[in-house]
Structure 1
Amino acid sequence: MITYVKEGNIFALNGIFNFAHGCNCAGAMGKGIALQFKIKFPQMYIEYKKLCKENSFSLGNIFIYKYENGVIFNLATQTTWRTKADISAIEIALEKMLSYSHLNNINRISLPKIGAGLGGLNWNDVKRTIEKVSKNYPQIHLFIVENYKS
């Protein structure tokens, strides 16, 4: 199930402690929602950067980071911060995230418009991809914040 939130903050949605966002594979989290993750979860950023440096995080991968209240899914959606997001990488990473969530009883995840902000993709194309993949996991409720507002 998907709920589209017109505007808000993925970290401020009531009762949701699992988050996902699109990442590059170069170890950079310097703008947008990625920067918020870097600031909010500095240890996650250190581990993510190490994976990238070791070339262990590539398109379509997910880096799962468990913190005291939940899980963060870092989805490898673009090669570098200079390149556009890759729609097929988004689809593969979402499938991995939802499969993991299903196996681990994670049923509520909030995320931004992955790939459609700094990733440069058309939101309607990404939205169709998310809807296609999530149909196979009706027990997992995705909350997608379409526009950031603090």
Structure 2
Amino acid sequence: MITYIEKGDIFTLTDVTSFAHGCNCAGAMGKGIALQFRNKYPEMYLEYKELCKNGEYIPGDVFDYDYGIGHIYNLATQLTWRTKAKLEYIEKSVTKMLDLASEEDVTKIALPAIGAGLGGLEWNDVKDVLEKASANYPNIELYVVESYQSGNTISE
């Protein structure tokens, strides 16, 4: 199931401790929400960068980082920061994320409008992919913040 939130900050959602975001496979987290993840979880960033450097993180992959009280699902939605995201990469990585979350008993995941900002895709196309992928996981609630706005605590 998906709950869409028009404006907010994924890190301020009440009772949500697992997060996802779209990444490139080149080891760069220098803009947008990826930069926020890099700053909040520097050790995750170093592991991600090493995976990219070694060619172990390819489009459609998920780098699952357990930070102690939740998971960060780094979704490989773009080849590089210069290229656009692809719907097939989003579908593959979101499905992998949902499989992992199901195995790890994660029931709530917050994420931004992946692929639609710096990724360059049409948001309605991405929403269709998310709806299709999440339909098979009724026990996992996705909270999608469609537009970033700081300072608001959002509760369910």
Give the TM-score, by structure 2 length.
0.95
What is the distance in 2 between the residues matched to 1:131 and 1:103?
20
Distance 1:16 1:118 in 2: 24
Residue 94 of structure 1: how far off its partner (Å): 0.5
The reply on whether 1:20 has 2:20 as its aligned counterpart is yes
Q: Name 1:66's counterpart in structure 2.
A: 66
Q: Which residue pairs with 2:154 in the alignment?
A: none
SS of the residue corresponding to residue 111 of structure 1 reads strand
Instruction: Look up the SS of the partner of 2:101 in the other structure.
Output: helix
Unaligned runs of 5+ in 2: 151-156
1:41 paired residue number: 41
Aligned equivalents of 2:103, 2:41: Cα separation in 1: 24
Aligned structure 1 segments of 4 or more residues deviating by more than 4 angstroms? none
- Taking every aligned residue pair, what percent have the same amino acid on both sides? 58
Partner of 1:125: 125
Partner letter of residue 47 of structure 1?
E
The structural deviation recorded for 1:62 is 0.3
Instruction: Give the TM-score taking structure 1 as reference length.
Output: 0.99
**SS, match of residue 146 in structure 1:** strand
Shift of 1:93: 0.3
- Identify the residue that residue 103 of structure 1 maps to in structure 2: 103
Q: Secondary structure at the match of 2:8?
A: coil
1:68 and 1:119 map into 2 onto residues whose CA distance is 29
The CA distance in 1 between the partners of 2:7 and 2:92, in whole Å, is 26
Specify the code of the residue in structure 1 equivalent to 2:78. Answer: Q
- How far apart, CA to CA, are the structure 2 residues paired with 1:37 and 1:104? 21
Shift of 1:129: 0.2
Amino acid across the alignment from 1:110: A
Residue in 1 that maps onto 2:149? 149
Deviation of the 1:142 alpha carbon: 0.2
User: 1:102 Cα deviation (Å)?
Assistant: 1.0
Q: What one-letter code is carried by the residue in structure 1 that aligns with 2:58?
A: S
Partner Cα separation in structure 1 for residue 26 and residue 42 of structure 2: 17
Amino acid at match of 2:77: T
Counterpart in the other structure of 1:76: 76
Equivalent-residue separation in structure 1 for 2:13 and 2:41 (angstroms)? 17
Cα deviations by residue, 1:15-56 (Å, 9 ceiling, x for unpaired): 100000000000000000000000000000000000000000
Over the aligned positions, Cα root-mean-square deviation in angstroms equals 0.4
